[in-house]
């Protein structure tokens, strides 16, 4: 019985399995087939082919729709690019500027991510602007590009910011580091501190005005007390120079020029403006004045390196950073704070500060020939050091061999012009030179003769190993030392040709000497005469001045007239009169001569 019962169970399971398999097969068949009307007979081969074609056609329709959609997207992108290219460049620049302004607003709010996104958009717009080479918008495009790059740099740098400091004041923390510096000023460096404070009166009024214009804390005006002791010619072991102690590269970076005659790092006004630019940039970079001051003294890269090497993203206090900076270079900050504390309350620290010197008042006169300042001071009846104090940027304590705004005491403008024209031209002790590019066929001998120099002088200045081996295109310095400037300028005379002033070239002349004699430039002479090269020929006529000067009229020289008298009579400067008429400082005038004067 048990066996029969088991057989029945097995038979039931087998029938159930057959039914289940048949059911699944039937369902799958229904899915694969297209709907067909009920029929007892299976579909023919023709019907099966038609069904497959319908499925393929449906799939094909879907693929075409997808392709069309993609084509529309690409077409839309191409249209957008085409529209950007055809859009007015000035409009694109406006859009880029708007995006840049949005970035500034976000930056001020502290939303750095939005600021970066806006800057990315601004730069993207700029890249779409295609301008011809002669477009007046090129400069605007480049300026905006630089602004965007600078702002991006500031944003990334701000992520390394030490603290969020106050923009208007510098925290006067009196910690152990500051107290050490106060003690030094009270003892070993007391004399230095008092003398520096006294000298500050010469320049601090000017510095405060520039600080106020820039919106910087007035406390920063005391930086020169620590940097240079308010000595405009102070020179450090690191070759930093001037009130604000700029090295050459940093000075150049902020517009301070240096050449044979002038070093603007010693110019109080120009170096102050450069220092303000530098301090503003550092504050923007680090976010607080204390860190900016450390960077001013030891360099922003050194401070950034210390911040980057920290395991945390910020430092809660500047003095945590201070302890990781090189002690000798970072001492500037506590010394500066110590100086501010003493100046704010000298009695508290046992100091009796002297009265600051008075600032020097001056006016400016344009001079155009080199003379010693001491000689000029003597001829004006001034203290021999006064002009040197007013013009500390002049390296040789003499005016340059070009136009220069010389500072003179108030009321001495006309006297200076008259005196400077009566003084002999001063030649600096070190060799001055002009640049000459060797042309095919030239030798050192012909070059020396042309510039009234000597072969040995040229060879020595250029460190030439051979006197015979020079090549076309070679750059040579031609020494000007020992040349007779005065005699050459006095012998060069202009000929009036209608409303033109013409010079006739003589043997040995060069464009450099002619330009020097008539207070003009080689470039201007070449432009007026359509000259392609510097080569001149004897007897060649060169136009020095052409046409009636704007706002000028003619004056006929009378017996006894001097250029100074004529300039004074018509209320113009002597320098202006000489320039109008193409006269050199040594030129003579004669009765009946026609001179241009300003009305």
- pLDDT, tens digit (0-9, with 9 covering 90-100), for 446-492: 888 877 778 887 887 787 877 777 888 888 888 764 443 333 344 45
Among residues 368, 352, 428, 433, which one has the least CA distance to residue 404?
Answer: 368
Among residues 486, 464, 465, which one has the least CA distance to residue 475?
Answer: 464
For the chain, the residue count is 599
Q: What is the pTM of this model?
A: 0.51
Cα separation, 462 vs 475, whole angstroms: 9
Residue-level pLDDT at 330:
75
Q: What is residue 406's three-state secondary structure?
A: strand
Residues 29-55 have pLDDT tens digits of 444 444 444 444 444 444 444 444 444
Cβ-based neighbour number of residue 316 at 10 Å: 10
| Catalytic center residues | 227
Residue-level pLDDT at 242:
92
Cα separation, 300 vs 507, whole angstroms: 57
Residues of the chain under the 50 pLDDT cut: 1-6, 18, 25-62, 69, 73-85, 159-166, 430-431, 481-491
Among residues 334, 254, 344, which one has the least CA distance to residue 297?
Answer: 334
Cα separation, 149 vs 133, whole angstroms: 22
Phi, psi of 461 (to 5 degrees): -65, -35
State how far Cα 258 lies from the chain centre: 15
144, HSE (Cβ side, Cα atoms, 13 Å): 27
Cβ-based neighbour number of residue 364 at 10 Å: 12
């Amino acid at each position: 019985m048990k066996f029969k019962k088991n057989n029945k169970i097995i038979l039931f399971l087998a029938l159930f399995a057959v039914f289940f398999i048949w059911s699944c097969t039937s369902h799958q068949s229904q899915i694969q087939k297209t709907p067909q009307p009920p029929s007892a007979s299976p579909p023919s081969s023709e019907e099966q082919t038609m069904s497959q074609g319908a499925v393929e056609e449906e799939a094909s329709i879907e693929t075409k729709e997808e392709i069309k959609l993609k084509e529309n997207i690409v077409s839309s992108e191409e249209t957008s690019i085409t529209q950007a290219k055809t859009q007015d460049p000035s409009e694109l620049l406006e859009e880029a500027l708007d995006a840049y302004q949005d970035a500034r607003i976000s930056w001020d709010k502290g939303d750095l991510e939005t600021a970066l996104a806006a800057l990315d958009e601004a730069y993207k717009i700029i890249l779409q602007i295609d301008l011809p080479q002669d477009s007046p918008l090129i400069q605007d495009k480049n300026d905006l590009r630089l602004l965007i790059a600078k702002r991006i740099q500031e944003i990334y740098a701000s992520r390394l910011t030490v603290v969020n400091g106050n923009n208007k004041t510098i925290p006067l923390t009196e910690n152990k580091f500051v107290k050490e510096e106060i003690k030094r000023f009270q003892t070993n460096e007391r004399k230095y501190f008092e003398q520096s404070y006294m000298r500050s009166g010469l320049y601090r009024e000017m510095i405060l005005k520039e600080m106020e214009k820039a919106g910087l804390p007035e406390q920063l005006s005391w930086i020169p007390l620590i940097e240079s002791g308010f000595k405009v010619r102070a020179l450090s072991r690191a070759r930093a120079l001037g009130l604000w102690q700029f090295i050459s590269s940093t000075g150049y970076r902020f517009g301070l020029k240096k050449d044979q005659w002038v070093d603007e790092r010693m110019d109080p006004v120009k170096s102050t403006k450069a220092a303000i630019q530098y301090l503003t940039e550092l504050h923007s970079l680090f976010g607080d004045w204390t860190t900016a001051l450390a960077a001013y003294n030891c360099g922003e890269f050194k401070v950034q390196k210390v911040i980057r090497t920290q395991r945390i993203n910020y430092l809660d206090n500047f003095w945590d950073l201070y302890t990781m900076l090189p002690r000798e270079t970072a001492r500037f900050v506590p010394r500066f704070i110590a100086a501010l504390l003493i100046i704010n309350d000298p009695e508290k620290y046992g100091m009796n500060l002297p009265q600051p010197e008075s600032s020097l008042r001056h006016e400016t006169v344009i001079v155009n020939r080199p003379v010693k300042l001491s000689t000029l001071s003597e001829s004006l009846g001034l203290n021999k050091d006064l002009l040197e104090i007013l013009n500390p940027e002049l390296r040789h304590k003499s005016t340059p061999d070009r136009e220069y705004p010389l500072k003179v005491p108030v009321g001495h403008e006309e006297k200076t012009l008259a005196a400077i024209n009566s003084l002999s031209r001063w030649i600096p002790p070190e060799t001055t030179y002009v640049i000459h590019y060797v042309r095919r066929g030239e030798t050192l001998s012909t070059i020396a003769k042309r510039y009234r120099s000597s072969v040995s002088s040229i060879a020595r200045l250029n460190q030439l190993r051979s006197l015979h081996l020079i090549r076309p295109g070679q750059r040579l310095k031609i020494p000007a030392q020992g040349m007779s400037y005065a005699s050459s300028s006095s012998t060069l005379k202009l000929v009036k040709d209608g409303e033109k002033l013409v010079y006739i070239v003589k043997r040995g002349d060069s464009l450099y000497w002619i330009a020097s004699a008539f207070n003009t430039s080689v470039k201007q002479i070449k432009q007026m005469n359509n000259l392609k090269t510097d080569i001149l020929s004897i007897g060649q006529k060169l136009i020095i001045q052409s046409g009636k000067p704007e706002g000028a009229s003619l004056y006929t020289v009378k017996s006894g007239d001097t250029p100074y008298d004529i300039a004074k009579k018509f209320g113009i400067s002597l320098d202006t009169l000489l320039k109008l008429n193409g006269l050199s400082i040594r030129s003579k005038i004669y009765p009946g001569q026609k001179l241009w004067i300003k009305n």
